[in-house]
């Protein structure tokens, strides 16, 4: 009897190694989702495989597209950060800071030339052609900067929603991926002798 139980234990030990390898291979996507977490998948790596227009919400989705869009409306890039796309979000925020600095410089130059032209007109009674030219160019550049910033921020809102939907679609695929696990099964035969075998478990 002791020999039988020793053989069962030895058989279990010898079985566990191939079982573990088999389980890791067949359940790769599931383990990646459960153990590695949502931060490991980047939007740029999966965006080509999903059409965000086909997205339908599931209970337990990682991200709420509406929250991502509203967050990016109030603070550009925040919605992307909410979706764990920190590089993308900080890049958008940095671009907005650059637009703000550029617009501030253009505005300052425009007002400086306007004041300079007014002083010249008061002193000499004629407009300063150079000041008027620089002021006009600064005003035109400011309009381009404002239009660029507005375009970026409108795109930023839709991008945040799209990122949330695409990443949710990826994790929905992971959650419904069937997992096959081959596991050892221990029991007894009709003579109450210990037996050792393998069981197949399929999870959807």
Amino acid 130: pLDDT: 79
43-92 pLDDT per residue, tens: 999 999 999 999 999 999 999 999 999 999 999 999 999 999 999 999 99
What angle, 0 to 180 degrees and rounded to 10, lies between the N-to-C axes of helices 65-74 and 129-176?
A: 160
Enter the tokens of residue 39. 């931060």
- The residue ranges of the chain whose pLDDT is under 50 are 1-3, 5, 7-38
Interatomic CA distance for residues 64 and 71, integer angstroms: 11
Amino acid 183: pLDDT: 58
> How would you label 161-172 residue by residue, b for 16+ Cβ within 10 Å and e otherwise?
bbbbbbbbbbbb
Which of 134, 144, 7, 160 lies closest to 74 in space, CA to CA?
160
Amino acid 129: pLDDT: 79
Amino acid 94: pLDDT: 97
**DSSP type of residue 59:** T
Enter the tokens of residue 203. 């999870």
Amino acid 119: pLDDT: 78
Residues in a beta bridge with 196: 186
- The answer to whether 170 touches 46, Cβ cutoff 8 Å, is yes
Amino acid 175: pLDDT: 85
Model confidence pTM above 0.85: no
Interatomic CA distance for residues 133 and 161, integer angstroms: 43
């Amino acid at each position: 009897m002791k020999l039988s139980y020793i053989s069962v234990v030895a058989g279990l030990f010898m079985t566990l190694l191939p079982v573990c390898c088999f389980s890791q291979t067949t359940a790769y996507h599931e383990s990646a989702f459960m153990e590695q977490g949502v931060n490991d998948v980047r939007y740029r790596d999966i965006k080509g495989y999903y059409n965000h227009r086909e997205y339908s919400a599931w209970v337990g989705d990682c991200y709420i597209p509406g929250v991502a869009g509203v967050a990016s409306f109030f603070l550009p890039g925040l919605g992307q950060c909410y979706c764990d796309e920190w590089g993308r979000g900080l890049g958008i925020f940095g671009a907005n800071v650059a637009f703000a600095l550029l617009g501030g410089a253009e505005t300052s130059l425009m007002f400086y030339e306007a004041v300079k032209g007014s002083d010249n007109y008061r002193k000499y009674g004629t407009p300063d052609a150079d000041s008027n030219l620089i002021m006009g160019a600064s005003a035109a550049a400011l309009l381009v900067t404002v239009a660029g910033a507005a375009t970026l921020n409108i795109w930023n809102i839709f991008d945040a929603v799209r990122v949330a939907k695409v990443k949710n679609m990826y994790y929905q695929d992971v959650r419904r991926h069937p997992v096959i696990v081959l596991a050892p099964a221990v029991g007894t035969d009709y003579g109450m002798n210990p037996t050792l075998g393998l069981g197949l478990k399929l999870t959807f």
